[in-house]
Amino acid sequence: MRLIIAEKPSLARAIAEALPGAARRDDGALVVGDTTVTWCLGHLLEQAPPDAYDPALKQWRLDHLPILPAEWKLMPRPRARGQLAVIRRLLKGAREVVHAGDPDREGQLLVQEVIEHLGWKGPVSRLLVSDLNRPAVQRALARLEDNARYQPLFRAAESRARADWLYGINLTRAWTLIGRQAGHDGVLSVGRVQTPVLGLVVRRDAEIRDFVPRPFFVLWADLEVAAGRLRAWWQPGETHPLDDQGRLLARQPAADLAERLPGAEGRLARLESRDRRQPAPLPYSLSALQVDAARRFGLSAKAVLEICQRLYERHKLITYPRSDCRYLPEEHFASARATLEGACRTDPTLRGWLAGADFSRRSRAWNDKQVGAHHALSPTGKPADPSRLDKAEADVFRLIARNVLAQFYPPLVTREVKAEFAIAGEAFRASGQEILEPGWKPLFTTREEAPPLPPLTEGETCRVREAGVEDRETRPPEPFTDASLIKAMMNIGRYVEDPAVRRTLREHDGLGTEATRAGIIETLVERGYLVRRAKALRATRLGSALIASLPDAVGRPERTALWEQRLGSIAEAGDDPAPFLASLVTDLHGLLSSADAGRLRQALANARGEEPAPAGRPSARRRGSTARRRGTGTGGSRPTRRRRSS
């Protein structure tokens, strides 16, 4: 018997349907001829708790830290024991095993750890499925690979799981224990990803809170030129009081000039014009889709992920959604027309866009060199049944299809014009943009662009018809939203102060993964560290105090971003995981030595932040369960039954 082990039941059903012959159900499996397809339920195994290594560790004590397992143990998740028994039984009759986890680091781990935990010693092949439709699964079945090729991916995922355990268990226990000494009765969860994300929000909130607005002043002049009228803006020179962004800090110079300007003549001293060709935005990665869907439809990152999972598993309308790639395989280009015609058939908006597509065009999106374990989100070609999709599902599906359709539209061509006028011995600037060829732009917005400047000729004269001064104030940064926080996590290098680290992160940018970013935000909300106010995400008093009490490096992104870089080297270059884990243990000793109840007590006393809505706080048991689920990416400790305070 050939035994195929899928990551989840939906994938197992898709594989069984793609095999020749009719499938019959067995206990926890599907049988098609000589092939049996079974499944995991996400992670069937989890890292054992500290007391599995030593019963004395069930009690939380500072003198037990750091906890460093000599030999790592896994244990079945409570709800997974039945399916684990099914796989154990089927392995006894198998001659070959096929690993059919999702095509990513975590998918490699969760199936392979089961195979190894149950002691299978025979051959293992690897099946990579990113599209659940029958033709795509049949193609994948025809090109099985040796699972040994993916050992580096497994070692990286295993190292991530162990490192998260070490970091989360030890720091969470340490800060919870000093929290008790400081008067806080509850678990203070610390994780290598969740805590830097919390730190981003806490620091942004502090910038907003401490912001002191400063007045500045701008002077405009409405000019008459040969071909019409335009508005230009004064560019005050260095003899005037300016801030570091060139803004005028005193009103009087602008007011004096405004009085003299009406009726004054000048000339167009310099004219710059250039045409720009912009290719269509690339197809979506999950994070890019979460950002756009949040802005356009107000959907949370978690909601977008859940919608994508339904579109992938239940409706089979899109390819594998948890992708960090925005490119498509070159072999998909030949079938793109048929795929999109099928995908757009039942949606009037998509049909209209399809009519304008030129399938002889080949955009930069088709690039095998940019495609790794995943490719960008794209339609499978299956027509959507409008009666089975809710509005949010239809909206998200339309975005995914639109970005692929846009690859078959011409570039957007614009003309950008910059003009500088010399009037009364001062410089005035105006700029405008004209759309020459709309290309893909109508698929993305129906908004009217700002009117372009009238035709201009360098050296021509102008006359000031009217002038005025506007009083303005500097504005604080905007609070984070789901969209902007996901974007910050995608581009975490922008928040790194060390120039050398920032350079290192250019190719390894990102905090969390496509699969975990939404879960990280929700975990922070559930644990009472963040709260939603309308669309804004704000830190609570508890969240602010936790960041203030931790060593600065724990609440900043440098450590975890470089950590992901090391894991990438293990996965892609086959680096040995041992030095990575050894360096983490060294770091832990230093971090634990800095745990200070006095500092935490002061942080709790000084904390300023939002209070979570009382009705919206889940119970301690429910909040703790979040860390158990695959995909949270919190790096926190294994949940305990201790009560958490609100």
State the pLDDT at residue 607. Answer: 85
Q: Residues 198, 221: contact at Cβ < 8 Å?
A: no
For residue 39, which of 75, 84, 91 has the smallest C-alpha distance?
84
pLDDT above 90: percentage of residues in the chain: 77
Please list, in sequence order, all residues whose beta carbon lies within 8 angstroms of the beta carbon of residue 164, skipping any fewer than 6 positions away: 191, 192, 634, 635, 636
What's the one-letter identity of residue 145? Answer: E
Q: What is the pLDDT of residues 462-494, one digit of tens each?
A: 999 999 999 999 999 999 999 999 999 988 888
Q: How far apart are CA 219 and CA 258, in angstroms?
A: 7
Q: Is residue 388 over pLDDT 90?
A: yes
As beta bridge partners, residue 461 has: 267
CB atoms within 10 A of CB 101: 31
Q: What is the pLDDT of residues 45-77, one digit of tens each?
A: 999 999 999 999 999 999 999 999 999 999 999
State the pLDDT at residue 508. Answer: 58
Domains and CATH numbers, the chain: 2-143 (3.40.50.140), 156-210+478-628 (1.10.460.10), 215-279+412-473 (2.70.20.10), 287-408 (1.10.290.10)
CB atoms within 10 A of CB 578: 9
Q: Is residue 330 over pLDDT 80?
A: yes
| Helix ranges (DSSP H) in 416-459 | none
Neighbour-count burial of 390, counting CB atoms closer than 10 A to its CB (0-12 exposed, 13-18 middle, 19+ buried): exposed
Q: Is residue 207 over pLDDT 90?
A: yes
Residues serving a catalytic function are 320
Average pLDDT score over residue span 422-442: 96
State the pLDDT at residue 559. Answer: 84
Torsion angle, CA of 32/35/39/45, rounded to 10 degrees?
160
Q: Residues 639, 625: contact at Cβ < 8 Å?
A: yes
Average pLDDT score over residue span 391-418: 97
State the pLDDT at residue 567. Answer: 87
pLDDT confidence of 636, banded at 50, 70, 90?
very low
Q: Is residue 641 over pLDDT 50?
A: no
State the pLDDT at residue 614. Answer: 54
Q: Is residue 629 over pLDDT 60?
A: no
pLDDT above 70: percentage of residues in the chain: 93
Q: Residues 302, 294: contact at Cβ < 8 Å?
A: no
Q: Is residue 623 over pLDDT 80?
A: no
Core vs surface per residue 112-144: b (16+ CB within 10 A) or e: bbbbebbebeeebbbbbbbbbbeebbeebbeeb
What's the one-letter identity of residue 555? Answer: G
Q: Is residue 252 over pLDDT 70?
A: yes
What's the one-letter identity of residue 260? Answer: R
Whole-prediction pTM value?
Answer: 0.83
Average pLDDT score over residue span 429-452: 87
Backbone angles phi, psi at 404, to 5 degrees: -80, -40
Q: Is residue 635 over pLDDT 90?
A: no
Average pLDDT score over residue span 544-564: 89
**How high is the mean pLDDT of the chain?**
90
Q: What is the pLDDT of residues 600-620, one digit of tens each?
A: 999 999 887 777 765 444 433
∠ Cα 331 336 337 (to 5°): 140
State the pLDDT at residue 261. Answer: 97
Average pLDDT score over residue span 342-368: 95
Largest CA distance in the chain: 95
